[in-house]
Amino acid sequence: MTETNNAQVSTRRSSSSRARKRKPKKNQLPLGIGVAVVLLAFGIYLSTVSGKLALFWLIGISFGFILQKARFCFTASMRDPYLTGGTTLTRAVLIAFAITSIGFTAIKYGAYVKGLPIPGQSYVVPISIATAVGAFIFGIGMVIAGGCASGTLMRVGEGFHMQVLSLIFFIIGSLWGAHDFGWWKLNFMLKGKAIFLPDVFGWFGGLVVNLLIIAALYIFAENWENRKNEE
DSSP state of 149: H
Q: What gap in Å lies between CA 42 and CA 49, rounded to an integer? A: 11
User: Residues 72-90: pLDDT tens digits?
Assistant: 777 778 888 888 888 888 9
Q: Find, among 92, 72, 117, the residue nearest to 214 by Cα.
A: 92
User: Residues 15-39: pLDDT tens digits?
Assistant: 555 555 666 677 777 887 888 899 8
Q: How confident is the model at residue 105 (pLDDT cuts 50, 70, 90)?
A: very high
Contact yes or no for 87/225 (Cβ under 8 A): yes
> Mean pLDDT of all residues in the chain?
82
User: Residues 140-152: pLDDT tens digits?
Assistant: 888 787 777 777 8
Helix/strand/coil for 52: helix
User: Residues 54-76: pLDDT tens digits?
Assistant: 999 999 888 888 877 777 777 77
Q: What gap in Å lies between CA 77 and CA 88, rounded to an integer? A: 8
Note the pLDDT of residue 191: 80
Q: What gap in Å lies between CA 208 and CA 201, rounded to an integer? A: 9
Q: What gap in Å lies between CA 102 and CA 124, rounded to an integer? A: 17
> Global pTM?
0.69
In this model, does residue 5 exceed pLDDT 50? no
Contact yes or no for 229/85 (Cβ under 8 A): yes
Give the DSSP per-residue string, 54-109.
Answer: HHHHHHHHHHHHHHHHHT--HHHHHHHHHHT---HHHHHHHHHHHHHHHHHHHHHH
User: Residues 151-174: pLDDT tens digits?
Assistant: 788 888 777 888 888 888 888 988
Q: How confident is the model at residue 99 (pLDDT cuts 50, 70, 90)?
A: very high
Domain locations in the chain? 26-70
